[in-house]
Chain A
């Protein structure tokens, strides 16, 4: 059973701090990794994708991938109250076509 694990949270950080969200996956052959943000009552919104080991930065967001450790993380710098949401990690397992396996999500709360 291919799995994607995330701490459910809530992760609470003060405004302006760095929020660190973590994800581990079971399928060593996975090639593509994604972070989605989901506000309460809304649909998931793609915010980052990463395909190779290392860091990928986009504005205040940095995705980090370590395939050897089967670990993906998302850093949010200068966290804002508007970042308060559930963050879903998604992985494309080996030989799964284009299907994604989602983690259950980590709830982030940023206090002002």
Chain B
């Protein structure tokens, strides 16, 4: 069955370290998204991509970067982790077309100490 996976599921890192969160989908969806979810803020868009070599900034992109070298993967990199980036991170994907239904991965809980 097609699916979307994220790894690692849990990560503890130290302030200042570079961290990469992986997202892989087998739906062949062109559109992929990264969100963070925090109490009191809900889901906020970090970065998104509409296809290979395409990346776009979302609402809370500072301190994060993404790259899209193939259809299946959109890794999220925290260039220098900060305590404010402690959060739950979700990857999502959607198909091309007028129907913008997004399907979410299981999430990564990141703690920055």
**A interface, CB within 8 angstroms of B:** 32, 34, 36, 42-46, 49, 88, 90, 92, 97-100, 102-105
Contact = CB atoms under 8 A, between A and B. Distances in A.
B28 interface: no
Given A43-B105, A44-B104, A99 B45 contact: yes
Interface in B89-113: 90, 94, 98-107
13 contacts: A43-B105, A43-B106, A43-B107, A44-B43, A46-B102, A49-B101, A92-B100, A97-B56, A98-B31, A98-B48, A98-B100, A100-B102, A103-B42
A45 B35 CA distance: 14
A88 B104 contact: no
Contact of B50 (A36, A98, A103): A98
Interface of B: 31, 33, 35, 40-45, 48, 50, 56, 58, 90, 94, 98-107
Nearest to A46: B101
Nearest to A4: B42
Contacts of A42: 106-107
Given A98-B50, A105-B42, A49 B106 contact: no
Q: Is the interface of B mostly helix, strand, loop or mixed?
A: strand
A100 B42 contact: no
Contacts of A32: 98-100
B48 A99 contact: yes
Contacts of B107: 42-43
Contacts of B105: 43
Given A43-B90, A43-B104, A88-B42, 17 more contacts: A36-B104, A44-B104, A46-B101, A46-B102, A97-B48, A98-B31, A98-B94, A98-B102, A99-B45, A99-B58, A100-B100, A100-B102, A102-B42, A102-B44, A103-B42, A104-B42, A105-B42
B99 A102 contact: no
A1 B41 CA distance: 15
A46 B90 CA distance: 14
A104 B43 CA distance: 7
A45 B105 CA distance: 9
A55 to B, nearest CB: 19
